[in-house]
C-alpha cells in the first residue's frame, strides 16, 4: 500500500501547490492581466507568433519539456534508493522547477516573446546576452545530437512503437489544417486523434505493419539520426500550427491518457496485486510492494549522491531546457497572459507527477515480475520483489546504459497496465510509444529553439548599416539558414567516432557521437536553470518585486551543477583530464562552460547593487501597428 499512498499523496500535493503557491505567484507576484496584449497578438505572423488555445499550448509545452528526462533521470537515480529521488522530485518540481518555468514564461511574455538569452542582455548586460546564448547553443547542440540516438534505441528495443510514432505526423498535419482553416472546436479532433493513436498502438505491429516495423528497427543508428534531423528541419521552418502544435497536442493526449492508465493499473495492483505470475492456471498475483531500499549507499561504480542526484534527476524536478521552451516557443503562442499559470506552472507539476510514477515503476512495478536474463537470454524464470530490482540495479554500470534506464521504466509501467488485464504486447508497445514520442517532441522543439539561438547570435554580428556588403552571417539570420546549420552540426556530431571506441568507423557503427558530450549534458542543463533564475531575479529586482522565494533555488542551481562539472573534470579519481584516452571535445566544452558560468556570475554580482528599482532600456517601438485584441481571451 505504500506505493499507492505515495502516488495519491503526490497527486494531492501537486493539486494543492497549483491552487496555492501557483495562484499566489500569478496574482500577487507577477500580477497576470487578461487585458494585456501578448506577443502572439502584437507580433502575430502565424509562423512563430500564433494565438492559440491554452490546452493546445499546454500539450506542446508539456511534451516538449518532458522528453525522456523525467524517465531516464529518475530511472537511474533510484539506484541511491527511492527516498532521495522522490523528495527531490516532489519539492524540486514545486519550489524550483515550476517557479523557473513559470517565471521564464512570464518574463518572456512581458518582453515581446524574447528568449531568456535576449532578455539577459537587457536586464544584466550586453556581454551576458552573448555568454548566455553561447551556453544555450552548446546545450541544444548536445540535445539534437543525442536524441536521435535515444529514439533509435527505443525503436530497436520496442519495434512495435515505430508505426504509431510515424502515423502521428500525417495525423498532426491533417488536424492542424482542420483546426486552422475550418475553425472547428477542439473536442472532436481530440477524440479522433486519441482514438487513432490507440488503434495504431493496438494494430500497428500486426501483419505487414509488423514486418515494416521489423525492417525499420534494423536501420543503423546513423540512418535514424539523419532521417530524424531532416524531419526536425521541416518541423522547425513550418508554421507552428501546421505540425509542431498538433503533433505535440496529439502526443499530450496519448501521454496523459497513458499516464492515467498506468495510475489506474497502479491502484489495481495496490489493491489486488499484479498480473498473475506462473502458468497452468496456477498463477498468483504478486503484492505491490516497494522492492528498493529507501536509502542505498556503497553502490559499485556509482558517483557521490550529492551533487549527482540533482544533476541526474533533471526534468522531473527542474531543467534549464525548460526556460528555452517557455521563452522560445510557448510565450509566442499564448493568447492570454493569465494562461501562463496553467501552461508554465501546471506543465511542470504534471511532469513532476510523471517522474513520481517513473520512480514507482522502477522500485515497485519491476517487483511485479520481470524475466531473468543471463547473457541477454531468458532462463524461463520470473524474478519478483527485491530480486527483480537488484537484477536491474546491481551496479552503476548495469543500470547506467540508455537501454537499461528505458527498459526499467517500460517493464515496470507495463506491469501496472497488465494488472488491468491488458496484454503484455500492448502494454509494452504503449510504453514504448510514450518514451519515443516524448523524445521526438523534444527533438523537433529543440531544433526550433536552436534556430532562434543561431538567428540571435548571428544578428549580433550583422549590422543593418552594412548595406550591400556580403556577410555570410546574414544567411544565419534567416530561419532556413539557421536551421540548416543546426541540423548539420548535430548530424556531424552524431556521426563522429567516440574516443577510444573499438573497431573501424562505418555507417553501420556510427550515430553515437552525441555520447561524446552526453556526460556534460546533465550538469550543463541544470546550470542553465540557475542562470535562467538569475535573469528572472534581475528582471524582478529592477521592478522592486519580491525575490526572496527564488534566492535559494538560484544559488542551489548555480553551485551544485558547477561543482559537478569541476568534480568530473579534475577532482574525481578517473577525471576527464586524467583519462588515458582523453575526450577533448568534452574537456574543451566543459572548461568553456565553467568559465562562462563564472563570467556571468561575476557580471551579475557587479550589476546587482545598482539594479534595484532601475528599469532596463525599453524595447524599440514596433515597426507596425499592434493588434489590439487583448480582451478576446
Q: Which residue, among 56, 69, 57, 55, has the nearest Cα to 438 in the 3D structure?
A: 69
Cα-to-chain-centroid distance, residue 328: 14
pLDDT digits (tens, 9 = 90+) for 172-227: 888 888 877 766 677 777 788 888 888 988 888 888 999 999 999 999 999 999 99
pLDDT digits (tens, 9 = 90+) for 537-551: 999 999 999 999 999
| Rounded-to-integer distance, Cα 460 and Cα 462, Å | 6
Predicted confidence (pLDDT) at residue 410 exceeds the cutoff of 60: yes
Look over the chain and give the mean of its residue pLDDT values, rounded to a whole number.
Answer: 88
pLDDT at 251: 85
Q: Which residue, among 468, 335, 261, has the nearest Cα to 58 in the 3D structure?
A: 335
| Domain of 294, in residue numbers | 2-273+282-496+505-632
Cβ neighbours of residue 335 closer than 8 Å, sequence gap 6 or more: 38, 40, 41, 51, 52, 53, 54, 632, 633
Cell numbers at 114, concatenated: 524574447
| Rounded-to-integer distance, Cα 70 and Cα 89, Å | 9
pLDDT digits (tens, 9 = 90+) for 68-84: 888 989 999 999 999 99
**What is the bridge-based pairing of β-strands 370-374 and 377-383?**
antiparallel
Cβ neighbours of residue 390 closer than 8 Å, sequence gap 6 or more: none
Report the pLDDT averaged over residues 476-500.
88
pLDDT digits (tens, 9 = 90+) for 473-485: 788 888 899 999 9
pLDDT at 628: 45
Cell numbers at 343, concatenated: 501552461
- What phi and psi values does residue 370 have, to the nearest 5 degrees? -135, 150
**What is the bridge-based pairing of β-strands 370-374 and 276-277?**
unpaired
Predicted confidence (pLDDT) at residue 4 exceeds the cutoff of 70: yes
More confident residue, 306 or 403: 306
DSSP string, 468-496: T---GGGGGGSHHHHHHHHHHHHHHHHHS
| Rounded-to-integer distance, Cα 513 and Cα 495, Å | 5
Q: Helix (H, G, I), strand (E, B), or coil: what is residue 185?
A: coil
Phi-psi region for residue 551, left (φ > 0), alpha (ψ -120 to 50) or beta?
alpha
Q: Give the CATH number, domain containing residue 381.
A: 1.20.1740.10
Percent of the chain predicted with pLDDT > 90: 54
| Rounded-to-integer distance, Cα 492 and Cα 321, Å | 22
| Rounded-to-integer distance, Cα 50 and Cα 438, Å | 23
Which residue, chain included where needed, has cell 540516438? Answer: 149
- Name the domain count of the chain: 1
Q: Helix (H, G, I), strand (E, B), or coil: what is residue 543?
A: coil
| Range in 81-95, 151-165, 487-501 with the lowest mean pLDDT | 487-501
Is-above-0.75 flag for pTM? Answer: yes
What b/e sequence results for 387-396 when a residue is b if at least 16 CB atoms lie within 10 Å of its CB, and e otherwise?
ebbebbbeee
Amino acid at each position: 500500500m505504500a506505493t499507492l499512498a505515495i502516488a495519491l499523496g503526490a497527486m494531492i500535493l501537486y493539486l494543492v501547490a497549483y491552487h496555492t503557491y501557483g495562484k499566489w505567484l500569478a496574482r500577487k507576484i507577477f500580477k497576470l492581466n487578461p487585458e494585456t496584449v501578448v506577443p502572439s497578438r502584437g507580433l502575430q505572423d502565424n509562423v512563430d507568433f500564433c494565438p492559440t488555445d491554452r490546452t493546445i499550448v499546454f500539450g506542446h509545452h508539456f511534451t516538449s519539456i518532458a522528453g525522456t528526462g523525467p524517465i531516464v533521470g529518475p530511472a537511474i537515480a533510484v539506484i541511491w534508493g527511492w527516498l532521495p529521488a522522490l523528495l527531490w522530485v516532489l519539492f524540486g518540481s514545486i519550489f524550483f522547477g515550476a517557479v523557473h518555468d513559470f517565471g521564464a514564461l512570464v518574463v518572456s511574455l512581458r518582453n515581446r516573446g524574447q528568449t531568456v538569452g535576449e532578455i539577459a542582455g537587457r536586464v544584466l548586460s550586453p556581454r551576458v546576452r552573448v555568454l548566455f546564448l553561447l551556453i544555450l547553443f552548446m546545450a541544444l547542440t548536445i540535445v539534437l545530437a543525442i536524441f536521435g540516438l535515444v529514439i533509435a534505441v527505443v525503436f530497436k528495443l520496442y519495434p512495435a512503437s515505430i508505426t504509431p510514432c510515424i502515423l502521428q505526423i500525417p495525423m498532426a498535419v491533417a488536424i492542424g489544417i482542420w483546426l486552422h482553416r475550418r475553425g472547428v472546436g477542439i473536442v472532436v479532433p481530440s477524440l479522433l486523434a486519441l482514438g487513432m493513436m490507440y488503434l495504431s498502438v493496438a494494430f500497428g505491429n500486426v501483419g505487414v505493419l509488423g514486418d515494416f516495423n521489423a525492417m525499420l528497427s534494423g536501420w543503423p543508428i546513423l540512418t535514424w539520426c539523419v532521417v530524424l534531423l531532416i524531419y526536425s528541419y521541416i518541423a522547425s521552418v513550418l508554421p507552428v500550427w501546421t505540425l509542431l502544435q498538433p503533433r505535440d497536442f496529439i502526443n499530450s493526449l496519448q501521454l496523459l491518457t497513458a499516464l492515467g492508465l498506468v495510475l489506474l493499473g497502479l491502484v489495481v495492483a495496490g489493491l489486488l496485486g499484479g498480473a498473475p505470475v506462473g502458468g497452468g492456471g496456477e498463477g498468483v498475483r504478486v503484492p505491490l510492494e516497494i522492492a528498493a531500499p529507501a536509502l542505498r549507499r556503497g553502490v559499485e561504480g556509482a558517483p557521490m549522491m550529492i551533487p549527482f542526484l540533482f544533476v541526474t534527476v533533471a526534468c522531473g524536478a527542474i531543467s534549464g531546457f525548460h526556460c528555452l521552451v517557455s521563452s522560445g516557443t510557448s510565450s509566442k503562442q499564448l493568447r492570454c497572459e493569465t494562461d501562463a499559470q496553467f501552461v508554465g506552472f501546471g506543465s511542470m507539476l504534471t511532469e513532476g507527477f510523471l517522474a513520481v510514477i517513473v520512480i514507482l515503476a522502477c522500485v515497485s512495478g519491476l517487483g511485479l515480475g520481470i524475466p531473468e536474463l543471463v547473457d541477454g537470454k531468458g532462463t524461463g524464470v520470473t524474478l519478483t520483489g527485491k530480486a527483480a530490482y537488484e537484477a536491474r540495479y546491481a551496479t552503476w554500470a548495469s543500470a547506467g546504459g540508455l537501454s537499461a534506464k528505458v527498459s526499467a521504466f517500460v517493464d515496470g509501467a507495463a506491469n501496472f497496465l497488465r494488472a488491468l488485464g491488458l496484454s503484455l504486447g500492448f502494454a509494452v508497445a504503449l510504453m514504448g510509444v510514450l518514451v519515443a514520442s516524448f523524445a521526438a517532441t523534444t527533438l523537433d522543439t529543440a531544433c526550433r529553439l536552436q534556430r532562434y539561438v543561431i538567428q540571435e547570435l548571428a544578428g549580433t554580428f550583422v549590422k543593418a548599416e552594412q548595406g550591400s556588403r556580403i556577410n555570410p552571417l546574414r544567411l544565419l539570420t534567416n530561419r532556413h539558414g539557421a536551421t540548416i546549420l543546426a541540423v548539420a552540426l548535430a548530424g556531424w556530431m552524431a556521426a563522429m567516432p567516440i574516443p577510444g571506441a573499438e573497431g573501424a568507423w562505418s555507417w553501420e557503427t556510427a550515430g553515437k557521437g552525441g555520447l561524446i558530450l552526453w556526460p556534460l549534458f546533465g550538469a550543463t542543463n541544470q546550470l542553465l536553470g540557475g542562470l535562467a533564475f538569475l535573469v528572472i531575479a534581475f528582471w524582478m529586482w529592477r521592478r522592486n518585486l519580491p525575490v526572496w522565494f527564488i534566492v535559494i533555488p538560484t544559488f542551489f542551481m548555480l553551485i551544485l551543477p558547477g561543482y559537478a562539472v569541476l568534480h568530473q573534470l579534475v577532482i574525481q579519481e578517473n577525471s576527464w583530464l586524467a583519462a588515458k584516452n582523453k575526450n577533448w571535445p568534452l574537456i574543451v566544452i566543459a572548461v568553456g562552460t565553467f568559465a562562462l558560468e563564472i563570467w556571468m556570475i561575476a557580471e551579475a554580482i557587479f550589476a546587482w547593487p545598482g539594479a534595484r528599482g532601475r528599469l532596463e532600456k525599453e524595447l524599440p517601438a514596433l515597426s507596425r501597428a499592434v493588434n489590439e485584441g487583448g480582451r478576446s481571451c
